[in-house]
Amino acid sequence: MNARRNISLGFTETTVPEGQHICYLFNDEAERRRTMSKYLQSGLDAREKVLYLVDTMTTGEFAECMAELGLDVSRHQHDLVLQEALPVYCPGGTFSVPDMLKVVGEFYQQSLQDGYVGSRGTGEMSWCLVDGRARKEDIMEYEARLTQVLEQYPYTACCQYDARRFDGETIMDVLSVHPMMIVRGQVVKNPFFQPPEEFLASYRRRHEGAVHG
């Protein structure tokens, strides 16, 4: 495998190797938008293919928000893929771990084939709060296995979770499956991270115990 590029994330002066799996727990919407606009812009500036999966507003409203922050989405129609989150995460109506992992790998490979130096993306995860779209255990397995997939396909991923909408147990699980996290505008190693197989084994034991308890 070729050496990974060191990349800027835009919102911090710290550079990191491409292919990071980053958790962004936020409780300030204005700060989130500023952070994401810088994250997207830095990818575009680096000649990466960029994916944004929006859930809390329409793609048009999101484009307007980015324009207010200086990112003209219309100028990057080929470089920035802006899509509604739900049809990408749940194309058949419900969430599939293997299918979504395949989406990530294929997006990275296609980006290179199209002449980009790499790719990055970010998704708003609030879509999974609606009953019937995804089981929590599938979301956690996806997040854990995404770290493994990014070892092969160095797509830089930032998963956005609104801390005001997810319960404490879910927040701790989310922290457990992301090697990196955004804290006060900086990206840092996550002290709560557990290796994927270790987390999944622990998660299964914990939930099997709850079922049989």
Q: pTM of the prediction?
A: 0.94
**Domain 6-212 CATH class label:** alpha beta
Domain spans, the chain? 6-212
Phi and psi for 160 in degrees, rounded to 5?
-100, 125
Q: In the predicted model, what is the mean pLDDT of the chain?
A: 95
What per-residue string of b and e applies to 132-160 under the rule 16 or more CB within 10 Å gives b?
A: ebbeeebbbbbbbbbbebbeebbbbbbbb
Strands of the sheet with 186-189, listed across from one edge: 80-84, 49-54, 119-124, 156-162, 21-26, 180-183, 186-189
Rounded to an integer, the average pLDDT of 52-69 is: 97
Phi and psi for 193 in degrees, rounded to 5?
-65, 140
pLDDT, residue 208, reads: 83
Rounded to an integer, the average pLDDT of 6-32 is: 97
Per residue in 118-163, pLDDT (tens digit) is 999 999 999 999 988 999 999 999 999 999 999 999 999 999 999 9
